Chains A and B, each alone.
Chain A
Amino acid sequence: MNEHIHTTPEDEHDSAYSGLLVNDAHWAFGTDFEDPLAGVDTSIPDGVDAPVLAAYALMLGDDALVMSHRISEWTSNAPDLEDDIALSNIALDLLGQARLLLARAAKADASVVPALPEGSPAPPEDALAFFRDAHDFRNVRLAELVNGDFAEAVVRVLLFSVWRLATFERLRSSRDHVLAAVAAKGVKELAYHRDYSARWFVTLAQGTDESRRRLVAALDALWPLWPELFDTHAVEAAAAGAGVGVDPASVREAAEGVLDQVLAAADVPRPEAPRRAGVLGRTGRDGMHGEPLSLMLAEMQSVARAHPMGQW
């Protein structure tokens, strides 16, 4: 293309640009993998109501997306480099789950995807992430809280991953191939998230007076949102009934058992705070959120919404 590129075999290794113009198969992130579910069986299992499957996938996807976003805010802010890297890993794992689950929701029922201007190149999972308003998000409220200190991050990741891991262990046998596959992959990821946060939970509980004080304060602050994780929404009941989803109430015992082990190892008593009320009985799964979510989305969606016809 241009005769002014002066590379000899000897300094080819030095060239920052060799091959940059070549769109070869060596790209780890090429431009040709728009559909995250490419090659996966996305047919809807017999007897399953497509809107139920889509609504259920959105719930799991929104939990992952919102939690990932909050954890990603730790990047460049963690107490040490190792934890910066670990928290980024957790955020990346959840982001990957979110992408697949939102794509699954869109594939099951296209009517959940917000309408974009004619010709917009945004794939459906991005339309769902960046063009829905807060009241259409179905995540639990634990995921959306504004970040606190590192103890708060540890406790939040622990509660979230213990609960989600118990859910995904059962979701592996979903009749929906996509949900089963997402769960099979997610179980390994979530086991790491749980182990990472449980190790820090014990370390902070047994470290210094200051770390124990902060840890207990974080647990007390988040505890009122723990029971909400096990509420059964009508969509979850229907998805569980159809053999594609997991009834949250059914994983409560398993999750509580794991959490009790961590509390015992850390010598931290179970808090006794009452559960946090909703609004007219509605909570995260109903699209009723706290104030932080709309602020979070205003930031998250700002660039995408400014360029609905944009290519990214």
Chain B
Amino acid sequence: MTLTQTPPAPDLEAGFEATIARNERIEPRDWMPEGYRKTLVRQIAQHAHSEIIGMQPEGSWITRAPSLRRKAILLAKVQDEAGHGLYLYSAAETLGVSRLELTELLIAGKQKYSSIFNYPTLSYADVGTIGWLVDGAAICNQVPLCRTSYGPYGRAMIRVCKEESFHQRQGYELLATMMRGTDEQRAMVQESVDRFWWPALMMFGPPDDASPNTAQSMAWGIKRHTNDELRQKFVDMSVPQAEALGVTLPDPDLKWNDERGHHDFGQPDWEEFMQGVKGNGPCNAQRMAHRRRAHEEGAWVREAATAYAAKQRSVTA
């Protein structure tokens, strides 16, 4: 290890700001403001937790998938989510927090995950709708993050986004296949879209005038677009998709606005959104109990692995 002269803080800060201004990456060993580090840990952890909690709503349909092919696709998809969790926890580790610490913060209710996963999955069509709308919204949120200012996060997101695009396609393909099936299946798809459309819009977060962290995150290059910009983009992209599928989006205010060159649309129920954020959503308690149980039931296994590794080290030492 070499010791270098530590420049005074103002130079460090100026260097950091200059890197951001040049649209270059901040890397783990670069100096960064404490607020930047904290914001990143919060965002990456929340993202990682979302991947892991997000395994549950779809995972519960693996054992009921109606064909061997669908079962393989769903199992592989949920497995990918575990993989995304791994990349993201690894990115967070470069900021000095361990996977275990973050998991324990989640289980203690001190860190959040995406509220979308507090909605229940009630039919097999939900597997398709989650792929199409939920993963679609996630991609809109996440593609800009491939260019986020923190290197390890941006690189993890490139891989995550590639796999998410694939997930979205499988969801859309499932819905399209079901729409070619029976009347019951078409009704199942419509019912599912009716339930998930508004929660999908909530995934972009509160309206810009009610989003306290957006300005700083954009100045730091962590976030690249505002919540409302991304929501608009998502609506504009989803409308033709819904038409092609033959489903109706459940918003009476949804219509093309020639003047703006965008669709106008209604607002989701932000009060319901806040209930989910506060822990009172339909499945918050269930999701947390599941994650806590899996973590606690695995404790003796992780302890055994640690003890075995220590014994192996002492044998070879």
Interface residues of A, Cβ cutoff 8 Å to B: 1-2, 4-6, 13-17, 20-21, 27-29, 31, 65, 69, 72-73, 75-85, 88-89, 91-92, 95-96, 98-99, 102, 121-123, 125-126, 129-130, 149-150, 202-204, 206-208, 210-211, 214, 299-300, 302-304, 307, 309-312
What are 24 A-B contacts with C-beta separation under 8 Å? A4-B236, A28-B166, A29-B69, A31-B173, A72-B63, A75-B82, A79-B294, A79-B301, A80-B298, A85-B79, A88-B82, A89-B79, A91-B75, A95-B72, A122-B67, A203-B308, A207-B303, A207-B305, A211-B307, A214-B300, A303-B65, A310-B185, A312-B70, A312-B181
Residues in chain A near residue B66, CB distance under 8 A: 126, 130, 303-304, 307, 310, 312
Quick one: CB contact mask for B177-198 with A, threshold 8 Å, 1 for yes? 1101110110000000000000
Residues in chain B near residue A4, CB distance under 8 A: 236, 239-240, 256, 263
In whole angstroms, how far apart are the Cα atoms of A126 and B52 in the complex?
Answer: 30
Contact pick for A85, options B68, B83, B238, CB 8 Å: B83
- For the complex, count residues of B whose C-beta is within 8 A of A: 75
Report whether A76 and B172 are in contact in the complex, using a CB–CB cutoff of 8 Å: no
Closest CB in chain B relative to A61 CB, distance in Å: 10
Query: Would A17 and B290 be within 8 Å (CB), given that A4-B263, A88-B75, A149-B297 are in contact?
Result: no
Report whether A312 and B174 are in contact in the complex, using a CB–CB cutoff of 8 Å: yes
Question: Does B28 interact with chain A (Cβ within 8 Å)?
Answer: no
Main SS at interface, chain B: helix
Question: Does B311 interact with chain A (Cβ within 8 Å)?
Answer: yes
Report whether B52 and A80 are in contact in the complex, using a CB–CB cutoff of 8 Å: no
Query: Would A92 and B68 be within 8 Å (CB), given that A28-B166, A31-B173, A78-B298 are in contact?
Result: no
Question: Does B204 interact with chain A (Cβ within 8 Å)?
Answer: no
- Chain A residue nearest to B225 in the complex (CB): A14
Interface centre among A65, A76, A84, A96, by most chain B C-beta atoms within 10 angstroms, is: A76
Closest CB in chain B relative to A10 CB, distance in Å: 13
- Chain A residue nearest to B141 in the complex (CB): A16
Query: Would A312 and B177 be within 8 Å (CB), given that A5-B240, A208-B304, A211-B301 are in contact?
Result: yes
Report whether A309 and B181 are in contact in the complex, using a CB–CB cutoff of 8 Å: yes
Question: Does B214 interact with chain A (Cβ within 8 Å)?
Answer: no
In whole angstroms, how far apart are the Cα atoms of A234 and B205 in the complex?
Answer: 63
In whole angstroms, how far apart are the Cα atoms of A125 and B165 in the complex?
Answer: 29
In whole angstroms, how far apart are the Cα atoms of A95 and B300 in the complex?
Answer: 29
Report whether A96 and B303 are in contact in the complex, using a CB–CB cutoff of 8 Å: no
Closest CB in chain A relative to B79 CB, distance in Å: 4
Other than the given A76-B59, A130-B67, 4 more pairs (CB < 8 A) read: A17-B237, A31-B173, A72-B71, A150-B301
Residues in chain A near residue B130, CB distance under 8 A: none
Residues in chain B near residue A81, CB distance under 8 A: 52, 82, 85-86, 89, 99
Closest CB in chain A relative to B104 CB, distance in Å: 14
Question: Does B261 interact with chain A (Cβ within 8 Å)?
Answer: yes
Closest CB in chain A relative to B259 CB, distance in Å: 14
In whole angstroms, how far apart are the Cα atoms of A13 and B298 in the complex?
Answer: 40
Report whether B301 and A6 are in contact in the complex, using a CB–CB cutoff of 8 Å: no
Residues in chain B near residue A202, CB distance under 8 A: 308
In whole angstroms, how far apart are the Cα atoms of A304 and B305 in the complex?
Answer: 40
Contact pick for A312, options B67, B239, B243, CB 8 Å: B67
In whole angstroms, how far apart are the Cα atoms of A96 and B76 in the complex?
Answer: 12
Interface residues of B, Cβ cutoff 8 Å to A: 52, 55-56, 59, 62-73, 75-76, 78-79, 82-83, 85-86, 89, 99, 124, 136, 139-140, 143-144, 165-166, 168-170, 172-174, 177-178, 180-182, 184-185, 233-234, 236-241, 243-244, 256, 261-263, 290, 294, 297-305, 307-308, 311
Residues in chain B near residue A83, CB distance under 8 A: 301
Report whether A78 and B185 are in contact in the complex, using a CB–CB cutoff of 8 Å: no
In whole angstroms, how far apart are the Cα atoms of A69 and B61 in the complex?
Answer: 12
Residues in chain B near residue A92, CB distance under 8 A: 72, 75-76, 79
Report whether B144 and A14 are in contact in the complex, using a CB–CB cutoff of 8 Å: yes
In whole angstroms, how far apart are the Cα atoms of A72 and B76 in the complex?
Answer: 10
Report whether B124 and A303 are in contact in the complex, using a CB–CB cutoff of 8 Å: yes
In whole angstroms, how far apart are the Cα atoms of A303 and B70 in the complex?
Answer: 12
Closest CB in chain A relative to B31 CB, distance in Å: 31
Closest CB in chain B relative to A289 CB, distance in Å: 18
Closest CB in chain A relative to B166 CB, distance in Å: 7
Contact pick for B172, options A20, A80, A95, A309, CB 8 Å: A20
Residues in chain B near residue A130, CB distance under 8 A: 66-67
Report whether B261 and A6 are in contact in the complex, using a CB–CB cutoff of 8 Å: yes
In whole angstroms, how far apart are the Cα atoms of A65 and B75 in the complex?
Answer: 14
Report whether A126 and B298 are in contact in the complex, using a CB–CB cutoff of 8 Å: no
Query: Would A75 and B62 be within 8 Å (CB), given that A5-B237, A81-B86, A126-B67 are in contact?
Result: yes
Residues in chain A near residue B233, CB distance under 8 A: 14
- Chain B residue nearest to A5 in the complex (CB): B240
Interface centre among A20, A122, A203, A307, by most chain B C-beta atoms within 10 angstroms, is: A20
Report whether B185 and A76 are in contact in the complex, using a CB–CB cutoff of 8 Å: no
Closest CB in chain B relative to A94 CB, distance in Å: 10
Report whether B241 and A210 are in contact in the complex, using a CB–CB cutoff of 8 Å: no
Report whether B78 and A208 are in contact in the complex, using a CB–CB cutoff of 8 Å: no
In whole angstroms, how far apart are the Cα atoms of A198 and B261 in the complex?
Answer: 61
Report whether B169 and A27 are in contact in the complex, using a CB–CB cutoff of 8 Å: yes
In whole angstroms, how far apart are the Cα atoms of A244 and B64 in the complex?
Answer: 33
Report whether B68 and A98 are in contact in the complex, using a CB–CB cutoff of 8 Å: yes
Report whether B307 and A16 are in contact in the complex, using a CB–CB cutoff of 8 Å: no
